[in-house]
């Protein structure tokens, strides 16, 4: 290349600098996703135990095991659906 051609090249961040900025944002996004997953997990546990309390409050003692079993089946079914839908890649 001649000196004239070299001066016409655009100056800006190099590819390595661009990758470094992308890597930092990927790390920040990953950390944020991790924190949000922990919060979702804690909220899910709280909801799980709150539903158990509601079942004990709303239904007569002899029907509590039946509604608990139905609730557990729904939790298992929803969990399997979520695992199949979001975690298993085809």
pTM over 0.95: no
Residue pair 56/71 in contact (Cβ under 8 Å)? The answer is no
> What residue segments make up the domains of the chain, in order of their start?
17-87
Residue pair 64/55 in contact (Cβ under 8 Å)? The answer is yes
In this prediction, residues 76-90 reach a mean pLDDT of 83
Over residues 12-60, the pLDDT tens digits come to 566 566 666 778 888 888 889 889 999 999 998 999 999 999 999 999 9
């Amino acid at each position: 290349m001649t000196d004239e051609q070299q001066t016409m090249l655009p100056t800006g961040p190099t590819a390595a600098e661009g990758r470094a900025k992308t890597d930092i944002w990927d790390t920040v996004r990953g950390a944020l996703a991790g924190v949000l997953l922990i919060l979702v997990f804690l909220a899910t546990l709280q909801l799980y135990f709150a539903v158990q309390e509601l079942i004990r409050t709303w239904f007569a003692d002899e029907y509590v095991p039946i509604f608990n079993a139905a609730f557990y089946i729904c939790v298992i079914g929803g969990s399997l659906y979520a695992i199949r839908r979001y975690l298993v890649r085809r």
